[in-house]
Amino acid sequence: MTSSSAGTVHLAVYDTFADWETGHTTAHLTQNGYTVRTVGLSREPVTTMGGLRIQPDLALDELRPQDSALLILTGAAGWDTGDTLAPFARAARAFLDAGTPVAAICGATAGLAREGLLDDRAHTSAISFYLAATGYAGGERYVEVDAVTDPGADGAGRLVTAGPTEPVAFAREVFGLLGVYDEKKLDAWYRLFHDSDASAYEVLQGE
């Protein structure tokens, strides 16, 4: 599989971006033929929570759902300290309305809740009352799982959500959504990276 056949995944980046939440996701997407491009509010460099500086590949106003296979949103302090990151939640709405999937983890789920995107979709987060504090109307759709994918309806895009301690489960849902691995290999991948099950390595190698 080549990057041209797999497509482009867009990763939102901003100050205090939570580095660890998407490492598994982006690394294995890249290894399976996807191109990962970073998107900032502008093209100015941002600094992650781990102190790394990232130069975004493009600015948010250049991002179009039709050019993307997926938009990934991670946690950051900005989701809970104002509306600086609200434009990314609005971008997520545009993606979902266009039928292009979105994956959100940690604080990004609160941003989607404030945007009203979780009111009618199955979702999860750090804990239910974290999202309840946003005043959203989707509490009945909250699911007590590590990560979940809402299948979308009526042309809407699928949505992955996960809590901040579940980067491996988050990656698993993304890989399942994009069809990166078949069901057997997806299970093996999760067992290897989540449970340190060495026997799963042989399945991933096709043995």
* pLDDT tens-digit map of 13-22: 999 999 999 9
SS in 3 state form for 63-89?
CCHHHCCEEEECCCHHHCCCCCCHHHH
Per-residue pLDDT, 13: 98
Per-residue pLDDT, 4: 39
β-strands 159-162, 147-150 pairing: antiparallel
Which residues, including other chains, have CB under 8 Å from residue 142's CB and lie 6 or more apart? 123, 124, 125, 128, 131
Query: Do residues 52 and 19 touch, judged by C-beta distance below 8 A?
Result: yes
Residue among 73, 126, 129 at smallest CA distance from 104: 73
Per-residue pLDDT, 205: 84
**Token pair listed for 20:** 């660890």
Q: What percent of the chain stands above pLDDT 70?
A: 97
User: Is the overall model pTM greater than 0.85, yes or no?
Assistant: yes
Residue among 195, 164, 130, 190 at smallest CA distance from 21: 164
What residue spans of 2-134 are helical by DSSP H?
A: 3-6, 23-31, 86-97, 107-114, 128-132
Separation between Cα atoms, residue 50 and residue 13, nearest integer Å: 13
Which position among 71, 106, 126, 188 bears the catalytic label? 106
What residues pair up with 59 in beta bridges, in sequence order?
Answer: 40
Q: Among this protein's residues, is 193 annotated catalytic?
A: no
Q: Give the Cβ contact number of residue 51 at 10 Å.
A: 7
Using one digit for the tens of pLDDT, what is the confidence trace for 173-182? 999 999 999 9
